[in-house]
Amino acid sequence: MTAMPETPAAVPSLLHAPVIDWFDEHARDLPWRRPEAGAWGVMVSEFMLQQTPVNRVLPVYEEWLARWPRPAALAAEPPGEAVRAWGRLGYPRRALRLHAAASAIAEQHGGEVPSDHAQLLALPGVGEYTAAAVASFAYGQRHAVLDTNVRRVFARAVSGAQYPPNATTAAERRLARALLPDEEPVAARWAAATMELGALVCTARTPACGRCPIADRCVWRAAGSPAHDGPPRRGQTYAGTDRQVRGKLLAVLREAVAPVPQQALDAVWDEPVQRARALDGLVSDGLVEPLPDGTYRLPLT
DNA sequence: TAAACGTGGCA
DNA sequence: TTGCCAAGTTT
């Protein structure tokens, strides 16, 4: 047994009401939160929102749901169409995985997004967070939903740290479970509310503590809002990386209506070794399909 | 466990 | 201007 900070039994009841009441008043009217979105709408939004801001997701989400209102509709199209419709959301493998998830749902779940957490987790592109989010937001179940927002809220309000650890820890999962309201619908509301609080008030850089419903119970604030001490948070480099080259290559293919000759791809990056490596990577990832005549296109299968 | 994986807005 | 950050997952 590792000595872990205990969560006093009184803590949850002191946090639930103010956070949920705040959510009742300040929740954004996002399309995937409306009843008509359904579980499929929730799932599409969760894929798109992985590492991507809400404002950038909104227009693409609307296009997707209008074009593919059900999983089977998406599954009936080539995966390349999903990649094309993904636009510039970034991390296009998510489009491929969402297409694969839709196929699995169509073939193995009767076309309905499963409500079972384990079945959700087994879908391509669905990890710990997304499985809990879909089960909670779409089906009202009681799960610890630990995304970057919730982790930050708990780190500050309960653990007294400015930022959570780089990777989700067992202690964080334990804490999230301990804080979960007992009643299923309340727990689902709590999950959405804590996430929204992190997104709108308890933000990473400049938290708006003046608008926080639990500022007077925040351990981090009570400690004087000390700066993050631990190891530096892992930054992402981008310029000059294979990722940037992959992005440029795929952008050409997204815009093309016909297979693209090698020459058109060569034009996006002048360093041939890195360019070839990036293209190979896209092909092995299934994002690009090489044709026998030496041209390339988004995958038909 | 750490690194790979896009893109763009904001302080 | 540049680095940080955004509803993570996979290998």
Task: Confirm whether any atom of chain B, the nucleic acid strand, is less than 7 Å from CB of A87.
Answer: no
In a domain, A217, yes or no: yes
Neighbours of A249 (CB within 10 A): 24
Does A43 share its domain with A122? yes
In the numeric block, the tokens 């981008």 are attached to A238
Picking from A197, A174, A191, A65, the residue whose alpha carbon sits closest to that of residue A140 is A191
- A247 CB closer than 7 A to any strand C atom: no
A6 is catalytic: no
Mean pLDDT of A213-226: 97
Range from A88-102, A176-190, A225-239 carrying the lowest mean pLDDT: A225-239
Residue A84 pLDDT: 98
Q: Which of A138, A168, A184 is the last residue of a domain?
A: A138
Residues A197, A71 share a domain: no
Q: How far apart are CA A194 and CA A16, in angstroms?
A: 9
In a domain, A234, yes or no: no
The residue assigned the tokens 């929102």 is: A49
- Shared domain check, A211 and A83: no
Nucleotide in closest CA–C1' contact with A91: B6
What is the model's pLDDT at position A240?
84
Query: What is the model's pLDDT at position A8?
Result: 58
Paired strand residues for A290: A296
pLDDT digits (tens, 9 = 90+) for A177-191: 999 999 999 999 999
What percent of chain A shows pLDDT beyond 70? 94
Q: Which residue is nearest to nucleotide C7 (CA to C1')?
A: A49
Please indicate, yes or no, whether residues A22 and A49 belong to a single structural domain of this protein. Answer: no
Please say if the pLDDT value at position A44 is more than 60. yes
Please indicate whether residue A66 or residue A232 has the higher confidence score (pLDDT): A66
Question: Are residues A50 and A107 both part of a single domain?
Answer: yes
> Both A133 and A148 in a single domain?
no
Query: Do A74 and A94 sit in the same domain of this protein?
Result: yes
Asked if strand C contacts A144 at the CB level, meaning under 7 A, the answer is no
Mean pLDDT across A48-54: 98
A199 beta carbon < 7 A from strand C? yes
Question: Residue A176, exposed/middle/buried by CB under 10 A (0-12, 13-18, 19+)?
Answer: buried
Tell me, what CATH number does A192's domain have? 1.10.1670.10
Say yes or no: Cβ of A30 under 7 A from any atom of strand C.
yes
Co-location of A212 and A267 in the same domain: no
Task: Judge if A46 and A110 occupy the same domain.
Answer: yes
Residues A65 and A162 in one domain: no
Which DSSP category does A51 fall into? T
User: Is residue A167 a part of any domain in this protein?
Assistant: yes
Instruction: Answer whether residue A1 shows pLDDT above 50.
Output: no
Percent of chain A with pLDDT over 90: 91
A132: which nucleotide lies closest, measuring CA to C1'?
Answer: C7
Asked if the structure places residue A2 within a domain, the reply is no
| pLDDT computed for residue A237 by the predictor | 74
Burial class (CB in 10 A: 0-12, 13-18, 19+), A4: exposed
Q: Is residue A187 included in any domain, yes or no?
A: yes
Mean per-residue pLDDT over chain A, rounded:
95
Query: Per-residue confidence at A3, pLDDT binned at 50, 70, 90?
Result: very low
Report the protein residue whose CA lies nearest the C1' of nucleotide C4: A235
Q: How many domains does chain A have?
A: 3
pLDDT of residue A25: 98
Q: What is the CATH number of the domain that holds A113?
A: 1.10.340.30
The whole-number pLDDT of residue A132 equals 98
Q: Domain for residue A75, yes or no?
A: yes
Q: Which domain holds residue A110?
A: 31-138
Are residues A23 and A151 located together in one domain of the fold?
A: yes
Which nucleotide lies at the shortest CA–C1' distance from A93?
B5
Predicted confidence band of residue A199 (pLDDT cuts 50, 70, 90): very high
Report the CATH number that the domain containing residue A278 is assigned in CATH: 1.10.10
A3 falls within a domain: no
- Boundary-marking domain end, from A138, A161, A193: A138
Same domain, A90 and A131: yes
Question: A4-16, pLDDT tens digit by residue?
Answer: 455 555 666 799 9
Phi, psi of A289 (to 5 degrees): -115, 120
Q: Of the residues A87, A119, A138, which one is the last residue of a structural domain?
A: A138
